[in-house]
Amino acid sequence: MPVSKPEELRNICLVGHGGVGKTTLLENLLGLCSSVSRIGTVEEGNTVSDFDDEEKERGHSISAGVAYFAHNGVEVNVIDTPGYPDFIGPALASLGAVETAITVISAAAGIEVNTRRLFEAAGREGLARAIVVSKISSENLDLPALVAIIQETFGNNCLPINLPTGGCKDVVDVLTKETGEADFGDPASAHTALMEAVIEADEAMMERYLGGEAIEQAELGAALGKAMAAGSVVPIFFVDARDKVGLAALRDAIVNYFPTPVTGKPRVVVTGEGESAKETSVEARADGPLVAQVFKVAADPFVGKLCVFRLLSGTLKNDLPFAVDDERGSHKAGHLFKVFGKDHREVSALVAGDLGAVAKVEDLVYGSIIHAPNSDSGEVGTPAMPTPMYSLAIAPKTRGDEGKISEALAKLVEEDQTLRATHDAQTAELVISGLGDLHLRVVLAKMKRRFNLEVETKSPKIPYRETISAKADGHYRHKKQTGGAGQFGEVYLRVEPMDRGGGFEFVDDIFGGSIPSQFLPAVEKGVRDCMDQGVVAGYPLQDVRVVVYDGKYHPVDSKEVAFRTAGRGAMRDAIAKAKPVLLEPIVNLEVVVPAQFMGDITGDMNGRRGRIQGMDQLPGNLSVIKAQVPLAEVTTYNSQLRSVTGGQGSYSMEFSHYEPVPGNVQQQIVAMSTKPKDEEE
């Protein structure tokens, strides 16, 4: 039975670079608490959280796996997230559902790129954080050096809560004890360091401590939870999941100290928009108003569309109706589940703070709010996602499959916040965009496995855009008289460049009804037609303000279609005179390599029109290089980095902004593109 009080819940998310041992850690925690009878391994493909065929085959996580275990009357929900940068989407989405993010760092591999990104993202989300140093039974480790590196990278508030002992066969607790033997460091001073950091976060306790009063162990535990929730202490645990070292200590700390839904990150619902937006805090109370938010959408082979949510407030019952977002009408869950890997276990009610799921509620999407019927929905923020920029054009292998492919993609897009599918107006191709090569390969593998659809792919496409660099006027008069009723519409407009990222603005500055207002939407449609098609090389235009200021109409012959054509013509006329330019996406690239490769990387970056933004020495004889580079130059950075460093190093890439393409490059792109055909008018 699920718990009935929010205080009896803990929600944890495991994050960290690929292969650090998150899935193995969860599996062994489940084993320790008898939630599974047989402990699976990633190698055998039988773990609870990596149940998807794609995950089993590849030996790493791709989506967020949810499971839970119970200990001493507390239920701990754990989300195991993928560590490869290409699958950061589900990891970020999961941060929205928990109080605490545990960053797992492999003792052998140290801090890798995605580990840093996720540790920082968890901080931005206002979560409590903990660190697990994993695989401590491995050979040739320098754990004291790793602790120093962690503190240097993530701050001195990262402090061991236990230390390995007996040659990494066990751990000694240093929160409640100051005695014992450790493999490195001194438990007494580790105890003092942690205790003082914890006490510092509590003013009253601090005064008592300074006044010479002894602080009880039990108090210290509660204070640690508070200090974690406030972000002032990040405890470091030492674990080897495979050898069962430090597991019980981790479990006990989660259960005894970690923030609960009541004491953890405060949640707010925003109602209204713009200036009238109002924030209301949501307390994790069983008798509070019903508020739940979907953080994962998945397709289940048995129950269909499964939406996994975090209940922020209230109690959700299987036989009571609920509403979705700002829709009218209500749904009934019918079946309410707790998710355990690939299984969903039916429950009759869930209480604030818990994670649960409902099936087959088509209106629910990622980020959706479930609330009581006839109540205001409001919105709850979701973690920021990187913009998918790595694109492939795809075409069906079997003719006639186009429709099925679009349908399959729509489902896959619904499940993945970092996947987009678009139709390229210029080439009439279907284009999928994601975070990298591996991401898209997995999407195509899923399409084959789940929908039995195979596609041909074309080399990565760069999502160029177009814009204008000057103001200009445009005019078009559309007149047709071919027997029967005629067509007439005439439009004068002006285009103006907007700041980068401004998008599109359509301004009605018509005076004296020279174009009757009912035709303006048609003019705007015509203008948008032209925006979609571009004029330089057929890419969509952006950052353009269009002001329609004059025109003419005919009482009989003026029709919507005539004004649409006139709007398009006037726009084309104006754009051609407004010094149009091609824009290209620029990405922020962060590369971490052994220090000796720094020169090679910066040299390579310069050759790719990159701008180095910063270089730094990282602890552990590593260097980090940050640069802004045109996406077109780094679409295969995976193999580029491998060839420069022989397989060492890692990187992350994130869309930054659009910039005009240098003249010579623009010429090449224009030459390679097929310009949009002038439509028949």
Residues of the shown chain interacting with Mg ion in the complex, contacts defined by CB under 5 A: 22-23, 61
Q: Would you count residue 551 as binding ligand GTP (CB under 6 A)?
A: no
Nearer to ligand GTP, 240 or 379 (CB): 240
Q: Which stretch binds ligand GTP (CB under 6 A): 134-142, 251-259, 448-456, 563-571?
A: 134-142
Q: Would you count residue 18 as binding ligand GTP (CB under 6 A)?
A: yes
Phi, psi of 149 (to 5 degrees): -65, -40
**Taking CB within 5 to 8 Å according to partner kind, which of Mg ion, ligand GTP, none is near residue 581?**
none
Q: Would you count residue 242 as binding ligand GTP (CB under 6 A)?
A: yes
d(CA 514, CA 4): 67
The closest of 588, 583, 584 to 656, measured between CA atoms, is: 588
Nearer to ligand GTP, 107 or 306 (CB): 107
Nearer to ligand GTP, 139 or 273 (CB): 139
Least Cβ distance, residue 54 to ligand GTP (angstroms): 12
Q: Would you count residue 23 as binding ligand GTP (CB under 6 A)?
A: yes
State the pairing for strand pair 100-106/128-134.
Answer: parallel
The closest of 93, 77, 104 to 12, measured between CA atoms, is: 77
DSSP 331-388: EE-SSEEEEETTEEEEESEEETT-EEEEES-TT--TT-EEE-TTS---B------PPP
Q: Which stretch binds ligand GTP (CB under 6 A): 18-26, 125-133, 399-407, 619-627?
A: 18-26
Nearer to Mg ion, 63 or 382 (CB): 63
Nearer to ligand GTP, 130 or 562 (CB): 130
Q: Would you count residue 84 as binding ligand GTP (CB under 6 A)?
A: yes
Residue type, position 376, single letter: D
Instruction: Go through 132-143 and write b for each residue having 16 or more CB atoms within 10 A of its CB, e for each that does not.
Output: bbbbbbeeebeb
Nearer to Mg ion, 285 or 296 (CB): 296
**Taking CB within 5 to 8 Å according to partner kind, which of ligand GTP, Mg ion, none is near residue 542?**
none
Nearer to ligand GTP, 237 or 309 (CB): 237
**Taking CB within 5 to 8 Å according to partner kind, which of Mg ion, ligand GTP, none is near residue 378?**
none
For residue 384 the two structure tokens come to: 């920021």
**Taking CB within 5 to 8 Å according to partner kind, which of ligand GTP, Mg ion, none is near residue 240?**
ligand GTP
CA atoms 423, 92, 442, 392: torsion sign = positive
Q: Which stretch binds ligand GTP (CB under 6 A): 15-23, 196-204, 284-292, 515-523?
A: 15-23
CA atoms 142, 650, 659, 544: torsion sign = negative
Nearer to ligand GTP, 115 or 260 (CB): 115
Q: Which stretch binds ligand GTP (CB under 6 A): 119-127, 234-242, 285-293, 624-632?
A: 234-242
Least Cβ distance, residue 78 to Mg ion (angstroms): 12
Q: Quick one: which of 8, 52, 240, 379 contacts ligand GTP (CB under 6 A)?
A: 240
**Taking CB within 5 to 8 Å according to partner kind, which of ligand GTP, Mg ion, none is near residue 18?**
ligand GTP
Q: Quick one: which of 2, 39, 54, 61 contacts ligand GTP (CB under 6 A)?
A: 61
Q: Quick one: which of 82, 259, 367, 538 contacts ligand GTP (CB under 6 A)?
A: 82
The closest of 477, 513, 472 to 493, measured between CA atoms, is: 472
Q: Would you count residue 20 as binding ligand GTP (CB under 6 A)?
A: yes
**Is residue 665 within 8 Å of 617, Cβ to Cβ?**
no
For residue 58 the two structure tokens come to: 């590849």
Nearer to ligand GTP, 22 or 251 (CB): 22
Q: Quick one: which of 10, 71, 116, 135 contacts ligand GTP (CB under 6 A)?
A: 135
Cα-Cα-Cα-Cα dihedral of 594, 597, 601, 602, to 10°?
110
Least Cβ distance, residue 144 to ligand GTP (angstroms): 19
The helix (H) or strand (E) run that includes residue 61 is none
Number of chain residues interacting with ligand GTP (CB under 6 A): 22
Least Cβ distance, residue 25 to ligand GTP (angstroms): 6
**Is residue 61 within 8 Å of 80, Cβ to Cβ?**
yes
Q: Would you count residue 22 as binding ligand GTP (CB under 6 A)?
A: yes
Nearer to ligand GTP, 17 or 191 (CB): 17
d(CA 108, CA 134): 8
Q: Within a 10 A sphere around the Cβ of 376, how many other Cβ atoms?
A: 14
Q: Which residue is nearest to ligand GTP (CB)?
A: 83
**Residue recorded with tokens 């760069």:** 462
Q: Binding mask 138-157 vs ligand GTP (x if CB under 6 A, - otherwise)?
A: x-------------------
For residue 86 the two structure tokens come to: 């290409």
Q: Which stretch binds ligand GTP (CB under 6 A): 40-48, 191-199, 425-433, 583-591?
A: 40-48
Phi, psi of 102 (to 5 degrees): -100, 115
Alpha helices in 535-662 (DSSP H): 560-577, 598-607, 637-645
The closest of 315, 311, 335, 130 to 227, measured between CA atoms, is: 130
d(CA 417, CA 397): 26
Q: Within a 10 A sphere around the Cβ of 212, how many other Cβ atoms?
A: 6
Nearer to ligand GTP, 441 or 480 (CB): 441
Q: Quick one: which of 137, 418, 487, 623 contacts ligand GTP (CB under 6 A)?
A: 137
Nearer to ligand GTP, 61 or 157 (CB): 61
d(CA 119, CA 157): 14
Q: Which stretch binds ligand GTP (CB under 6 A): 21-29, 208-216, 308-316, 524-532?
A: 21-29
Q: Quick one: which of 83, 436, 460, 540 contacts ligand GTP (CB under 6 A)?
A: 83
Longest dimension (CA), the chain: 102
The closest of 43, 42, 48, 53 to 65, measured between CA atoms, is: 48
Secondary structure (3-state) at 669: helix
d(CA 160, CA 189): 11
Site residues, ligand GTP (CB under 6 A): 18-24, 41-43, 60-61, 82-84, 134-135, 137-138, 240-242
